[in-house]
Amino acid sequence: MSLLKKQTVGAGTSGGGGSNDASLIITDVTNFDGILSAADTTVQVALDTIDEWGKTTTDHAVLLGQGAGNPIISTSVGTNGQVIVGSTGADPDFASIGSTDGSITVTEGAGTLVLEGTQATETQLGSSELATDAEVLAGTDSDRPVVPSSLTAKLGTQTDHGVLVGSGTTAAVTALGVATNGQLIIGSTGADPVIASVASTDGSLTVTEGAGTLVLEGTQATETQIGSSELATDAEVLTGTDSDRPVVPSSLTAKLGTQTDHGVLVGSGTTAAVTALAVGTNGQLLVGSTGADPVFATVASADASIEITGGAGTIDLSASGILTIVAETGTTYEFLLTDVGKLVTCNNGAAITVTIPVNADVAIPIGSQILVTQLGAGVVTLAPEGGVTLNSRGALLDTNGQYATVACVKRDTNVWLISGDVA
């Protein structure tokens, strides 16, 4: 509206006498095209029009316009979660959102509204354009969903328990026949695989088929079978240079050489065949030979002091009762370990001293016996080395003349018994 100056209102334009009556103040209606119109010719009328604009509104309601010169009105008050919904040629109003097919879940609150797609566990209708069977078969659509009938078009006619096989990108899946117990699916170049049973053409495998099981076993060692590995050569068997390939009997013979019945086998180095010794006779022993093969030999006693009896797989050794004579001609002598069981003859015109050694020097076994004879004119005296005790009747330790014989028996570590022709 046109602005009126205070003094203009105060002076008045009509009625005289300086009246301040707003109904007498003329307005300029030239630009009235909003709340006010050309009918609002005075200030009072204009104020009444403005007052009417808020008169028909409701607390918390949304205000609605009614065109130029008409008062503002309001909608009804909305409840929790309602929204303003338009109506062609009429006032909009509050309304609740709903899902006619249940595909949307609506949760209304005070000043809030939650919209959620229905969960996959709940029944709902699709809201997308569906793919065609052709598109399902060819896989040419990546946006539209598939209905069961189109899925059937892709999966083809299925056989109960049958294995499904692809048929390219534009054809339906096919199904093989149903396999029987233990059968396998075997590939076929350029064609569908086939269901077949496993078999061993040469009998080297035992095949046991069961419901959902297949057991393959190598033929037992008690059954005839053909080898399935590359064989080692005789040269590789002899040198031991192959650790993967098996050996046939002829190669084993090459390694073991010519065997003698009952003969003892002897190695011939790492690259030659094993050899066999001649067969030993009763009681023979295998005796080593430096740098050569051992040999069977008969045990013999060079001085006949040992009796040897050989049998089939047995040998008996026993003393023969024949004494070995150790002839001494000097004036001194000390027992040796080799004197055990022998006769030591002392033959000298002068006196002779025979020393019996301490066990720490010569470890003659306890129970050993050594005979001493005075063969010449010189008397033989038995003398103990330090630490040795000699026990004799009357403590006599000399021989009683020419040809007198004395027995010396070791009865403890360093204790000897002296008996015989002593003086």
Range of the domain at 44: 1-75
- Rounded to an integer, the average pLDDT of 55-72 is 76
Find the mean pLDDT for residues 119-127.
57
pLDDT of residue 320: 66
| pLDDT tens digit sequence for 355-392 | 999 999 999 999 999 999 999 999 999 999 999 999 99
- Residue 122's contacts (CB-CB under 8 Å, 6 or more residues apart) are 102
Q: Is the pLDDT of residue 302 over 70?
A: no
User: Are 296 and 272 within one domain?
Assistant: no
Q: From CA 410, how far away is CA 400, in angstroms rounded? A: 21
Q: Are residues 272 and 300 in the same domain?
A: no
Instruction: Identify whether 173 is part of a domain.
Output: no
Residue 303 resides in a domain: yes
334 and 398, same domain (yes or no): yes
Same domain, yes or no: 333 and 406: yes
One domain, residues 312 and 396: no
Are residues 302 and 331 both part of a single domain?
A: no
Listed residues 75, 106, 141: the one ending a domain: 75
Instruction: Looking at the structure, tell me whether residues 328 and 415 fall in a common domain.
Output: yes
- The answer to whether position 69 is within a domain reads yes
Query: Are 295 and 368 within one domain?
Result: no
Query: 341: domain CATH number?
Result: 2.60.120
| Residue 117 forms part of a structural domain | no
Are 260 and 341 found together in one domain? no
pLDDT at residue 8 greater than cutoff 70 = no
Give me the sign of the Cα torsion angle 72, 76, 80, 81: negative
Round to whole Å and give the CA distance between 289 and 277.
13
Domain-located, residue 274: yes
DSSP, collapsed to helix, strand or coil, labels residue 402 as coil
> Of the candidates 48, 75, 102, which is a domain's last residue?
75
- Residue finishing a domain among 222, 253, 278: 278
Under 8 Å CB-to-CB from 105, ≥6 apart: which residues?
A: 99, 115, 116, 117, 118
> Is the model more confident about 172 or about 14?
172
Q: Is residue 51 part of a domain?
A: yes
Amino acid letter, residue 155:
L
Whether residue 309 sits in one domain with residue 363: no
Residue-level pLDDT at 118: 66
| pLDDT at residue 14, rounded to an integer | 39
- Looking at the structure, tell me whether residues 356 and 415 fall in a common domain: yes
User: Between 123 and 160, whose confidence is greater?
Assistant: 160
The total domain count for the chain is: 4
Residues 351 and 310 both lie in one domain = no
Residue 213 lies in a domain: no
Residue 315 located in a structural domain = yes
All residues at 6 or more sequence positions from 281 whose CB lies less than 8 Å from its CB, including other chains: 296, 298, 310
